[in-house]
Amino acid sequence: MLKFIEFSENPRGWSGSYLSRVARRVLAVAAVVGAGAGMMSAQSNFAASGVSDPSGPAYSSSAAEQTEALVVAPLPDFSKMITGAGGGHAQSTARPGYRPNGTNEDDSLKWTAYGGAGATVPIANTSNYLTPNFSIQIGVGPRLNKHIAIPLEFDWDQFGFTKGTLDNQIGIYDYLFGEGAVDNLLDGNSHIWSFSVQPTYTINTGGTVEAYAKVGFGFYHKVANFTLPSAQFICYYYCGIYYANYNLDSYTSNAPGFDAGVGFTYKLSPDSHARLYVEMRYVFINNKYRPGIVNTPESLATITDSTTNFYPANSNQTDYLPLTVGIRF
């Protein structure tokens, strides 16, 4: 602590020892103040020169490294945190196990649907009384995974009659109604509609072309219609005589059946589930034969008033091959 110099009434009477003590105290305070200023200046020079100029006299490698670490420390990689890559702190935006609605665990659709049309060809004994015609196919059902599906299928298979079948029926109807009763105008058709379960196994390659196999079983309804043309006078825009067929005679047969087939699919585009398909099946219907009248003198002689079956071939076992082209999902 500094003390003020006290003057005596006689200034020239200052004590020498007293002045010496005061001078030493002033010098000590000046030394302390000077040392503090020097330290502050050294710190300022170090901050300025130690980072920007490593060759400077105040440069310290450890201090510079610490300062550089504070200045240029890299920011976190937020892109990796979003996508979930590179580190235990990654955050994923997707829920674990999430998949779109309507798909199985292997990303296949949970349902399959298809529809197509084509030709149907009778084979074996069936080809003796039926001729080829068209077919229609529609199916829908669950898909368990990319390989296995169990659709329910509806099929309509249309057939014509062979000339031998029509000639046989003309002989019977002429015998029943009189010679020339149908006047060789008899015509007709046969069809089979069915509902069946069709377990299907697809050889899934993940490519454009795939193959599949199917085995089905179900209910089959077989119908035979024999028709004659009917002349009708009709006036619409113009009046005239028009001919339309009407059923002269009809027969049905219900039976279980099964089928087996193979097919190939072609993917329409990489981003679509739609595929063109072509399929060939073998169909067997276990119809139970019912005796009836055929065009022979011995058989015709057995006709009575209660006889009703003039086309027993409709209850024969049935074999045919549908060839179908369509689109499936």
Give tens-digit pLDDT for 214-268: 999 999 999 999 999 876 666 766 676 666 778 899 999 999 999 999 999 999 9
Compute the C-alpha angle 139/141/143, nearest 5°. 125
**Pairwise CA distance, residues 178 & 249, whole Å:** 16
CATH number of the domain located at residue range(s) 111-328 in this protein: 2.40.160.20
- Please tell me the predicted confidence (pLDDT) of residue 108: 85
Say how many residues make up the chain. Answer: 329
**Pairwise CA distance, residues 312 & 303, whole Å:** 14
**Pairwise CA distance, residues 189 & 160, whole Å:** 5
- pLDDT band per the 50, 70, 90 thresholds, residue 206: confident
Q: Which residues contact 177 (CB under 8 A, 6 or more apart)?
A: none
* Lowest-pLDDT range of 32-46, 234-248, 254-268, 278-292: 32-46
> Concatenated DSSP letters for 304-320?
-TT---S-GGGGS-EEE
The pTM for the full model equals 0.68
Across all residues in the chain, what is the average pLDDT?
79
- Please tell me the predicted confidence (pLDDT) of residue 86: 44
The number of angstroms, rounded, from the C-alpha of 91 to the middle of its chain's C-alpha atoms is: 30
Partners of 191 in beta bridges: 158, 223
Higher model confidence: residue 9 or residue 232?
232
Q: 248, 186 in Cβ contact below 8 A?
A: yes
**Residue in this structure with the two tokens 């072309």, named with its chain if needed:** 209
**Pairwise CA distance, residues 31 & 291, whole Å:** 139
DSSP reduced 3-state for 32: helix
- Please tell me the predicted confidence (pLDDT) of residue 272: 85
- Please tell me the predicted confidence (pLDDT) of residue 104: 87
